[in-house]
Amino acid sequence: MAKVNPEFAKELTKYGVGDFNACFNCGNCTATCSLSTNDSSFPREMVRYTTLGLEDEIKSSLKPWECYYCGECSKECPRQANPGELMMSLRRWLTAQYDWTGLSGLLYRSLTLTIAALVLVAAGVIFFARSVNFDAETLLHTGHRFEMLAIATVFLVIFVPNLLRMWYFTIVKNGVKAPLKNYSTALSELFIHMFTQKKAKDCDEKDNFRWLEHMVLVFAYLSLLFTTVFLNWFGTESLFIVVLGYVESLLIFVITAHFVSGRIKRNKALNTFSQPSDWLFVIWLLLMGLTAFVVRLFIDLNILENNIWMYLIHLTVLAQWAMIIVPFGKWTHFLYRSFGLYFARIKAMQKS
Ligand code: SF4
Ligand code: SF4
């Protein structure tokens, strides 16, 4: 028998959902959604589950990850129940359920805790810089090593166990017994969705620019990561790598500046209800692009050593990004969405 949690709707308000109780189950939203199919129909079902407090059914569902928040369903809803925002809130809530540390949930629910965590990380960076007498070479060397260590730690300690939990909730608990062959056959789906977000294109057919911008941002972000960590952008003398890093960081800055302005203007359904986690994600990504660009510029102008404060700003933004936003914030949506669509494909293969 399905377990009902009468407090679920209240709990979900902490993740951003508004008044979805006005829903009278007409189904307009599902009929409108261009990503909903006969085999995987949403968002009405998710609204219903939320109203009824069917927490386990929601936790085992991949449907919230199939929504790309084009907002068409919310536009067509006769009761202003805003199903698009409900799907977004469910994604935040699911992120908290997958996270074994419980920190994602804490940070999503409390802005005070989020600010405290950011301040703590900034204090740690300043404390460390002071302990090495603000020596530019030591700081640059440590910053580079920190990036490598952070990537390995977040991947092994946070992402691997959390993805296993997601797999357990959505595949194992649903009784899906897929052979290994299906996992390898569907692997291409994982990478296609991860790098191209191609479903976003179907979601908002009138606005392919948003999809294109998002895809360029993913490529620019991942390649800047590669350029700084593996090609040692701040230490290299290769002109090609230097220019490559400039282009990547500039792209990140320009696109995220556009995203921030969209959130300020609330010019799309996606931007109508911004939560602190949404702001943090775009602002910190913008700061990452901007500060990385300026640090490399200071190196090329040979003025970084006398202006080490600039590198400290970059290191602080980087540490906050790597220790808070990537493992416990909105960054994880990128990962869970790709795996969500991968698992959905495996489930579909099992049925057919
Ligand atoms: S959310 Fe709106 S459109 Fe969807 S079923 Fe409820 S009332 Fe109808
Ligand atoms: S926001 Fe778009 S993709 Fe998401 S459920 Fe609504 S119509 Fe479908």
Write down which residue in 69, 98, 127 finishes a domain.
98
Residue holding tokens 């914030």? Answer: 329
Same structural domain, 121 and 92: no
Question: Which amino acid would we find at residue 225?
Answer: L
Cα–Cα distance for residue pair 289/118, rounded to 1 Å: 18
Q: DSSP per residue over 80-135, as a string?
A: ---HHHHHHHHHHHHHHHH-TTSHHHHHHH-HHHHHHHHHHHHHHHHHHHHHTTT-
What is the count of structural domains for the chain? 2
From 17, 33, 63, mutation site for ligand 2 pocket: most ligand atoms within 8 A of C-beta: 33
Q: What average pLDDT score do residues 174-179 get?
A: 90
- State which ligand 2 atom lies nearest to the alpha carbon of 84: 1
Same structural domain, 85 and 120: no
Cα–Cα distance for residue pair 38/316, rounded to 1 Å: 48
Same structural domain, 108 and 93: no
- Domain membership flag for residue 70: yes
Cα–Cα distance for residue pair 225/194, rounded to 1 Å: 16
Same structural domain, 278 and 137: yes
Q: Is 27 in the pocket of ligand 1 (CB under 6 A)?
A: yes
- Domain membership flag for residue 2: no
Question: Which amino acid would we find at residue 173?
Answer: K
Same structural domain, 179 and 273: yes
Residue holding tokens 């790098």? Answer: 195
Structure tokens belonging to residue 282: 């775009």
Q: Is 46 in the pocket of ligand 2 (CB under 6 A)?
A: no
Write down which residue in 60, 81, 98 finishes a domain.
98
Spacing, Cα 237 to ligand 2 middle (Å): 47
Instruction: Say whether pLDDT at 295 is over 80.
Output: yes
Q: What is the pLDDT of residue 205?
A: 61
Q: Is 47 in the pocket of ligand 2 (CB under 6 A)?
A: no
Q: What average pLDDT score do residues 141-160 get?
A: 94
Q: What is the pLDDT of residue 1?
A: 61
Same structural domain, 28 and 129: no
Same structural domain, 37 and 174: no
Same structural domain, 209 and 94: no
CA angle 178, 183, 187 (to 5 degrees): 155
Same structural domain, 222 and 108: yes
- Domain membership flag for residue 154: yes
289: closest CA among 320, 229, 248, 330?
248
Same structural domain, 204 and 88: no
Same structural domain, 94 and 238: no
**Residue with the nearest Cα to atom 7 of ligand 1?**
23
**pLDDT-derived band at 156, boundaries 50, 70, 90:** very high
Cα–Cα distance for residue pair 3/238, rounded to 1 Å: 60
Q: What is the pLDDT of residue 204?
A: 63
Residues 6+ apart with CB under 8 A from 247: none
Instruction: Say whether pLDDT at 254 is over 90.
Output: yes
**Residue with the nearest Cα to atom 7 of ligand 2?**
33
SS3 34: coil
Q: Are 152 and 324 in contact (CB under 8 A)?
A: no
Q: At residue 21, what are phi and psi to the nearest 5 degrees? A: -65, -15
Q: Is 143 in the pocket of ligand 2 (CB under 6 A)?
A: no
End-to-end CA distance of the chain: 27
**pLDDT-derived band at 274, boundaries 50, 70, 90:** confident
Report the 10 Å Cβ neighbour count for 29: 28
Write down which residue in 46, 79, 98 finishes a domain.
98
Asked whether the bond before 43 is cis by omega within 30 degrees of 0, the reply is yes
- Domain membership flag for residue 1: no
Note the pLDDT tens digit of each residue in 334-348: 999 999 999 999 998
To the question of pTM greater than 0.85 for the whole model, the response is: yes
**pLDDT-derived band at 5, boundaries 50, 70, 90:** confident
**Domain that residue 45 falls in:** 8-98
* 81 alpha carbon, closest ligand: 1
- Domain membership flag for residue 256: yes
CATH code (residue 66): 1.10.1060.10
Q: What is the pLDDT of residue 198?
A: 81
Tell me, rounded to whole angstroms, the distance of Cα 21 from its chain centroid.
27
- Domain membership flag for residue 3: no
Same structural domain, 91 and 161: no
Q: Are 260 and 286 in contact (CB under 8 A)?
A: yes
Question: Which amino acid would we find at residue 16?
Answer: G
CA dihedral 61, 200, 254, 269 (to 10 degrees): -80
Q: Are 89 and 15 in contact (CB under 8 A)?
A: yes
Cα–Cα distance for residue pair 179/65, rounded to 1 Å: 23
51: closest CA among 20, 74, 77?
20
- Domain membership flag for residue 22: yes
